[in-house]
């Protein structure tokens, strides 16, 4: 098991904080597939690039919110150009009222640091 933590603090440009807990490499013939698991602190309208997940390309990205409360959140993603090198996934997060959870509006925002209004998401990613 690999425990890699690389963090990107929010600079106002939509940079998620990513913790990678496991990287598995599967070799089948001439192809290599990578399975990555971890957590990310992210707000809506932010992007996750394949290189941030230690991948060359993102094929599949499974996201599950981890809130610590009973408030439901809806997490959606759109993977740009599957199969191309260093593609990205655009993340959308909505609360139970349908309001988008952007930076400053999320559950972890505080008056002293409103830009931290992001949500922790567990993730599993598959790629090359």
pLDDT in tens, 36-71: 999 998 888 889 999 999 999 999 999 998 877 777
Residue with tokens 């309001």: 99
What mean pLDDT comes out for the span 10-18? 63
Using 50, 70 and 90 to split pLDDT, how confident is the model at 106? low
Q: What average pLDDT is seen over the chain? A: 81
Where on the phi/psi map is residue 30: left (φ > 0), alpha (ψ -120 to 50), or beta? alpha
Q: Which residues pair with 81 in a beta bridge?
A: none
- Give phi and psi for 88, each to the nearest 5: -140, 165
pTM: 0.79
Q: Which is more confident, 128 or 114?
A: 128
pLDDT of residue 112: 46
What mean pLDDT comes out for the span 18-31? 88
- Give phi and psi for 115, each to the nearest 5: -70, -10
pLDDT of residue 36: 95
pLDDT of residue 67: 76
In whole angstroms, give the CA distance from residue 122 to residue 104. Answer: 20
Using 50, 70 and 90 to split pLDDT, how confident is the model at 98? confident
Residue with tokens 């996201």: 63
**DSSP code string of 31-75:** EEEEEEEEEEEE-TT-EEEGGGGT-SSEEEEEEEEE-SSS--EEE
């Amino acid at each position: 098991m690999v425990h890699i933590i690389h963090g990107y603090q929010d600079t106002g440009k939509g940079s998620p904080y990513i913790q990678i807990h496991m990287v598995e490499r599967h070799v089948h013939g001439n192809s290599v597939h990578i399975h990555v698991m971890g957590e990310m602190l992210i707000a809506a309208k932010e992007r996750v690039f394949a290189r941030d997940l230690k991948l060359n390309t993102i094929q599949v990205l499974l996201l599950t919110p981890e809130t610590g409360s009973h408030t439901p959140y809806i997490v959606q993603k759109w993977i740009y150009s599957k199969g191309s090198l260093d593609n990205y996934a655009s993340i959308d997060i909505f609360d139970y009222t349908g309001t988008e959870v952007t930076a400053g509006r999320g559950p972890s925002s505080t008056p002293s640091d409103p830009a931290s209004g992001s949500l922790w998401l567990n993730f599993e990613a598959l790629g090359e």
